Amino acid sequence: MLQQIQTDRSNSPELHNVCIQPVGCLWDCGRACVVAYSAPRKPTYIFSGLPTASAPDLLQFAQQYTDSKTGNISHEKFPAALQEIPVAKVPAITHAAL
């Protein structure tokens, strides 16, 4: 799936500002594939149990997330295929850690 996402991204100029970074583990091995979206001052979204054909939907969500000033995407606006996937939303840190 990573290769498909990278290929699709390279063919979409509007997504060139999206950074795709593979990681070793998102601690959800029982529900692979797992993808997270994260940016400063935006909530983090973690999708679990993704089918390998999810690349176009993941890139569509990436565009929504990048375009959103706050990073808040209502569930109803998720690409249809991602509305059926387990997702966690972790609120953004809005203050300095003590």
Cα separation values, 21 from 3, 36, 37, 74, 94, Å: 12, 10, 10, 24, 24
pLDDT at 97: 59
Low-confidence stretches of the chain (pLDDT < 70) are 96-98
pLDDT at 21: 82
pLDDT at 29: 76
Mind listing the pLDDT tens digit for each residue in 56-67? 999 999 999 999
- pTM value is 0.85
pLDDT at 14: 80
Domain edges within the chain: 2-90
